[in-house]
């Protein structure tokens, strides 16, 4: 997903709203872009040098908020795009944060755990003056999780005193929140259930396909499976497989967790497939839950699903989006569909601030109405203005960020 692609989605909304060129520019440009060098000692005594980014896009509605990813393809343009998506996502669900994103250009699978710890701590050294519980709050994203957040929290606290609220997505034992690990996938599943109901499709008859059985894809699959839907096609960096009768979802997730390659490939009792066949699967629902930019125009032409729910950030390129909308495929966009994660991050931050912790039932009980409100509002705008859900979500987000900006003044 490029920054330019995100801008196309943004301007799709701002042009309809008629906000004018200056406000459009204000909404486009990131507030602050940090690019840092991260030099660490590798286990063999050599020096490893990496590039890291933290980009704060818009802070009108509250402290900057967004994940931190470790991936070999991370660059400034991509982090810019993802930071901007976070500003719109937090506005769609109405939580009091702005948008940010971070990334380190590294293939984390080539580093040992100790090297990853040194990398994470050194990155924190480089950005600690620009993050903080009331300033900018990182969280997990692609290839990062609770242990990385624990290292950042510990390293940041060495400079600033004990600060659990500097990151979210921490382990439960270290001031994390119940329900946070499952929250993004839970939100994806809820959006899928609501959109299927709106389309008049009975969940018991649903066949679905998921790209990426990481944290988001696995929880979304598990919850949809519990509602009676059948997972018939999956795939990831290691390969694609299918099972017309429906996979044993728990068994498949266990296979991914136990497999050193952390891939679905090789799961017993499945048929081997490929990228093209996966997207052309005869399914009702498609959930891209891996990386950005996977659905281009060519892939879009092959898609047979009536509903796409975006678990990943930026999986659909603008031309592909246009093509799918013209074919009446409903797309629940990333800034709504995967907002369960950051919403639960907000709960974690609130609990850290209060030093008072909620049960899993309480967390899930608060998550669902927030997402439902956002879903209803986006759907209402889409119906009233005869727009697709993505453009409607961007209109809602721009409206909220615009209001906050106007009230605060420049």
Q: How far is the CB of 215 from ligand GLU (least distance, A)?
A: 10
Backbone phi, psi, residue 32, to 5°: -155, 135
Q: Can you tell me the distance from the alpha carbon of 184 to that of 194, in angstroms, rounded to the nearest whole number?
A: 16
Whether the Cβ atoms of residue 67 and residue 136 lie closer than 8 Å to each other: no
- Bridge partners, 233 (sequence order): 209, 242
Contacts to ligand GLU by CB under 6 A: 65-67, 139, 141, 168, 313, 338, 341-342, 345
Q: Can you tell me the distance from the alpha carbon of 338 to that of 259, in angstroms, rounded to the nearest whole number?
A: 26
Nearer to ligand GLU, 166 or 229 (CB): 166
Catalytic residue among 101, 122, 170, 317: 101
* Local structure of 56: helix, strand or coil: strand
**The pair of three-digit structure tokens given for residue 298, joined into one six-digit string:** 């060519």
Residue 326 CA to its chain's centroid (Å): 25
Whether the Cβ atoms of residue 181 and residue 212 lie closer than 8 Å to each other: no
CA torsion 144→249→210→372, rounded to 10°? -80
Nearer to ligand GLU, 98 or 225 (CB): 98
Q: How far is the CB of 89 from ligand GLU (least distance, A)?
A: 6
Q: Can you tell me the distance from the alpha carbon of 356 to that of 364, in angstroms, rounded to the nearest whole number?
A: 16
Q: Is the dihedral of CA 279, 218, 52, 55 positive or negative?
A: positive
**Is 101 a catalytic site residue?**
yes
Q: Can you tell me the distance from the alpha carbon of 258 to that of 67, in angstroms, rounded to the nearest whole number?
A: 25
Residue nearest ligand GLU (C-beta atom)? 67
Whether the Cβ atoms of residue 149 and residue 140 lie closer than 8 Å to each other: yes
Q: How far is the CB of 82 from ligand GLU (least distance, A)?
A: 7
Q: Which of 202, 193, 70, 212 has the alpha carbon at shortest distance from 138?
A: 70
Q: How far is the CB of 335 from ligand GLU (least distance, A)?
A: 9
Nearer to ligand GLU, 267 or 346 (CB): 346
Instruction: Provide the CB-side half-sphere exposure for 38 (13 A, CA).
Output: 26
Whether the Cβ atoms of residue 104 and residue 51 lie closer than 8 Å to each other: yes
Catalytic residue list: 101
């Amino acid at each position: 997903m490029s920054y330019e692609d995100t801008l196309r989605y943004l301007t799709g909304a701002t042009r309809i709203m008629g906000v004018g060129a200056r406000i459009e520019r204000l909404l486009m440009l990131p507030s602050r872009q940090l690019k840092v060098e991260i030099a660490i000692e590798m286990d063999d005594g050599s020096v490893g040098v990496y590039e890291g980014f933290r980009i704060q896009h818009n802070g009108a509605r509250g402290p900057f908020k967004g994940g931190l990813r470790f991936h070999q393809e991370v660059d400034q343009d991509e982090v810019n795009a993802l930071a901007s998506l976070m500003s719109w996502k937090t506005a769609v669900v109405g939580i009091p944060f702005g948008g940010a994103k971070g990334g380190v250009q590294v293939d984390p699978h080539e580093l040992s755990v100790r090297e990853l710890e040194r990398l994470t701590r050194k990155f924190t050294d480089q950005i600690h003056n620009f993050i903080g519980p009331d300033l900018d709050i990182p969280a997990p994203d692609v290839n990062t999780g609770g242990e990385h957040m624990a290292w950042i929290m510990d390293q940041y606290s060495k400079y600033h005193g004990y600060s659990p609220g500097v990151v979210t997505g921490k382990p439960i034992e270290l001031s994390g929140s119940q329900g946070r690990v499952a929250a993004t996938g839970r939100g994806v599943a809820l959006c899928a259930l609501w959109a299927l109901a709106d389309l008049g499709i009975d969940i018991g008859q649903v066949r679905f396909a998921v790209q990426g059985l990481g944290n988001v894809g696995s929880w979304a699959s598990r919850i949809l499976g519990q509602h009676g839907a059948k997972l018939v096609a999956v795939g990831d960096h290691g390969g694609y497989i299918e099972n017309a009768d429906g996979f044993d979802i728990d068994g498949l997730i266990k296979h991914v967790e136990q497999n050193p390659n952390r891939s679905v490939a090789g799961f017993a009792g499945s048929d081997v497939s490929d990228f093209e066949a996966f997207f052309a699967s005869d399914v009702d629902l498609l959930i891209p839950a891996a990386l950005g930019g996977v659905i281009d125009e060519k892939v879009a032409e092959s898609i047979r699903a009536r509903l796409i729910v975006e678990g990943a950030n930026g999986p659909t390129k603008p031309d592909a989006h246009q093509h799918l909308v013209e074919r009446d495929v409903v797309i629940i966009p990333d800034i709504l569909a995967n907002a369960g994660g950051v919403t639960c991050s907000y709960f974690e931050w609130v609990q850290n601030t209060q030093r008072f912790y909620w049960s899993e039932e309480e967390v899930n009980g608060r998550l669902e109405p927030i997402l439902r409100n956002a879903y209803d509002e986006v759907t209402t705008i889409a119906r009233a203005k005869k727009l697709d859900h993505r453009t409607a979500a961007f209109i809602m987000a721009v409206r909220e960020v615009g209001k906050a900006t106007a009230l605060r003044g420049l």
